[in-house]
């Protein structure tokens, strides 16, 4: 067991080592460690206020861990700005959808290609051949992505006019356009109908396989988490109380207690 664990940590894509974050006197997350292997789909669950989103914000650079370190493929991410962390290969979606409200569906995705852009402002003015070719390539790639997720017919629509479920999917497409190695999904099933949730589960699995990426999922809906995650971390009051495959988590007394309170 110890051997396989070490083996897994060796090849882990994302690693959190004893991360603690405090806001003033409040310790939101305490000594949290986590490892996600390449291609793995990991869930992060816990009751309200357990610190799940804080972990997200720590990984994506919105907050800076007070102690501990965040590593992506062995490279330290502490203190990097959010955009730089995205540049290293971590993309995310938001709990409360944060699309670019004044842009079309097409432009929402296109804007995310900014990250790997070869041309700059000067090229946008001179409009040379290389610039036009790259813009053409981005347009093509954007449409391809939209097509994969069946959003192509909305490409000229304003993103806010999309149905709720489609907006969530568009956020995922936008995140994928940054060509991440790790995708963080923050409560993607929130507000979805049971049918939409089933579709979402298929979608996440599909994304992970098609784009060959790891996924970290924060989710309240147990059916979704238990249904697709390979491994699950459980947080309560900022402290990890359990870790393991869904079958173990399901029957772990500490987890049940955290969710149901002391019975």
Binding site for another protein (CB under 8 A): 23, 53, 57, 60, 62, 81-84, 86-87, 91-92, 94, 98-104, 107, 110-115, 117, 119-121, 123-128, 131-132, 134-135, 138, 156, 174-175, 177-178
CB of 195 to another protein, least distance (A): 27
We find the least distance from the C-beta atom of residue 46 to another protein, in angstroms, to be 18
Q: d(Cα 211, Cα 203) in Å, to the nearest integer? A: 12
Alpha-carbon distance of 122 to 96, in angstroms, equals 36
Is-contact 139 112, C-beta < 8 A? no
For another protein, give the closer residue by CB, 220 or 230: 220
Find the shortest distance in angstroms from Cβ 230 to another protein: 25
Quick check: 248 and 74 in contact, CB under 8 A?
A: no
Tokens describing residue 137: 């390539």
Distant-in-sequence, close-in-space partners of 112: CB < 8 Å, separation ≥ 6? 174, 175, 177, 178
| Contact between residue 236 and residue 30 where contact means Cβ atoms under 8 Å apart | no
Closest distance between another protein and the C-beta of residue 115, in Å? 3
Complex with another protein: residue 34 or 170, whichever CB lies closer? 170
Query: Which C-beta is closer to another protein: that of 186 or that of 219?
Result: 186
Q: Pick between residue 88 and residue 230 the one whose CB is nearest to another protein.
A: 88
Q: How far is the CB of 70 from another protein (least distance, A)?
A: 15
Task: Report the residue number, 235 or 242, with the smaller CB distance to another protein.
Answer: 235
In degrees rounded to 5, what are phi and psi of residue 234? -115, 125
Inter-residue contact 193 to 227 (CB < 8 Å): no
């Amino acid at each position: 067991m110890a051997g396989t664990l070490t083996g897994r940590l060796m090849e882990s894509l994302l690693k959190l080592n004893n991360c603690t974050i405090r806001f003033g006197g409040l310790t939101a997350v305490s000594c949290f460690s986590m490892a996600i292997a390449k291609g793995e789909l990991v869930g992060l669950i816990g009751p309200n206020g357990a610190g799940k989103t804080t972990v997200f914000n720590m990984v994506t650079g919105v907050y800076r861990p007070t102690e501990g370190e965040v590593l992506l493929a062995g490279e330290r991410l502490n203190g990097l700005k959010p955009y730089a962390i995205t540049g290293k290969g971590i993309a995310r979606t938001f709990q409360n959808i944060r699309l670019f409200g004044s842009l079309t569906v097409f432009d929402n995705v296109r804007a995310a290609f900014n990250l790997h852009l070869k041309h700059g402002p000067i090229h946008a003015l001179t409009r040379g051949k290389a610039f036009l070719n790259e813009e053409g390539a981005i347009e093509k790639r954007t449409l391809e992505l939209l097509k994969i997720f069946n959003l192509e017919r909305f490409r000229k629509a304003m993103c806010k006019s999309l149905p709720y479920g489609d907006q969530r999917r568009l956020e995922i497409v936008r995140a994928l356009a940054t060509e991440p190695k790790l995708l963080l999904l923050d409560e993607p099933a929130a507000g979805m109908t049971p049918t939409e949730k089933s579709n979402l589960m298929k979608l996440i699995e599909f994304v992970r396989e098609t784009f060959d990426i790891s996924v970290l999922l924060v989710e309240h809906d147990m059916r979704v988490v238990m249904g697709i995650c390979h491994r699950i971390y459980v947080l309560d009051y900022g402290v990890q109380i359990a870790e393991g495959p869904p079958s173990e988590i399901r029957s772990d007394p500490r987890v049940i207690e955290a969710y149901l309170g002391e019975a």
